[in-house]
A and B are shown apart, each in its own frame.
Chain A
């Protein structure tokens, strides 16, 4: 069995009458990039805070890198980099001085190595030119980058990023993805939360979905995205002809607003396409419809303003 970077069992957190996290079991294999998905208020941040010993669980256990948290937090956390609930720095200090202050508290950084580590982290997030400016004058995107820089001060075994692309422009988002990819290539385990499925799809190997404090799906991205009933969405103006041809061939198909949807039970996509073309159907576009996660997440975020 694979080693686990994060192992959570029956984790609960109750604030007064509100159950923020209810009985979560979560395994994150070492070396994975796990996307933690969920609509706003689903308990992502609370779960992350429990993982990092910032908050005490009402019940349940957490193990990071094989050691119990919060009991062994002092031993584990030096190897963990985290950006939780957005970047937090002192407005009257420059970006560099803020990072120096963070670096001073990092157990794994030797005092001599601090200036260089700070410089390297600033370059890696593209803040080298703004290092001497006060944090107060930073844009939202720059603040977020500085938060990432703090994570990158030392080599981490586990990196936890809570909505790291919040406030970033597309270029910034792309850079966060690059940094996550670099961390992954370096062998680190990454847990990244988001309320955007697309972001998780492009960066993660694994995914977990939270809804109202419960984990409703977890596993490798490929498995979750494929789901149990694969289908093809075919865009065509000749949907009636298409449905007829497919039904004759014994396939389950239904007309949609701009074409047909074909269930892929017992057949493959190329066979369906050649069948349609053979029947004289004008095929404009064929897409594999993602089931499982996509649908699940669409349902979850319904009415969420998106």
Chain B
């Protein structure tokens, strides 16, 4: 026997994670995406401020009178397409992209076990979700405060229900909206990662997510398919505006988060199963 082989057989997880995060966040496309997404609240804020006095009762017109509504509005706008695409792009690069590059082979040969690989990649995708949401939120808050200032007399947030809440409580609500958005994006990312684990073509992942979002949109517009609506991830996405109501209704936020959790479990499970037998 040449063995027994001694010594550690796994690289420290923290080291692997740090290496992965550095790789994800240093990638030029991630940085460009971050900048572009950060522009959304800025441009929205400028646009609304330039439009002048609030007309109608939409969420965005509410922005005109209240700086802290801007980050929530920007998150809501970005969640429809831009944020899911950013996360899908990260998931596409995570497994399909690395496989297409041949770099996945290097990781498996190191070796990084396949289940750890999925875990590390999932955290990398989550990191993109967190940073993009943070960029939108922070730029939203800053832009809102600069352009509009805290609303009127009481320095707080004018809710959709017409009441006012204090600035501390308003910031908490914006933070809640951000966390809720990350949870929704985690669901998108997990499903995208599952697709990514099954293909060598990053574009397939993007196409699947884009197609899925549009497909969900179409299905939710067809009343005859209303029995399907509770299954759709996008069904609960209007709940983000609940953070702007007073008192804040929690059912929509909770049920949409639970639904996202189901998608996360499903996606990660599929990604684990597929990666276990993947040829690299």
Contacts and interface: CB of A to CB of B under 8 A. Distances in A.
- Determine the interface band of chain B, counting residues with CB < 8 A from chain A: 20 to 34
B2 A30 contact: yes
A261 interface: no
B3 A108 contact: no
Interface in A177-214: none
B102 A88 contact: yes
Contacts, number: 102
A171 B100 CA distance: 30
B224 to A, nearest CB: 42
A293 interface: no
A78 B105 CA distance: 14
Interface in B1-49: 1-3, 5, 7-12, 15-16, 18-19, 22-23, 26-28
Interface stretch (A68-76, A123-131, A230-238, A277-285): A68-76
B277 A106 contact: no
Interface majority SS (helix, strand, loop, mixed), chain A: loop
A76 B5 contact: yes
The binding surface of chain B is classed by DSSP as: loop
Contacts of A30: 2
B110 A92 contact: no
B27 A92 contact: yes
Contact of B28 (A79, A86, A92): A92
A88 B16 contact: no
A54 B109 contact: yes
A84 interface: yes
Contacts of B3: 65-67, 75-76
B11 A84 contact: no
B108 interface: yes
Contact of A5 (B2, B10, B101): B2
Interface of B: 1-3, 5, 7-12, 15-16, 18-19, 22-23, 26-28, 101-103, 105-113, 277, 279-280
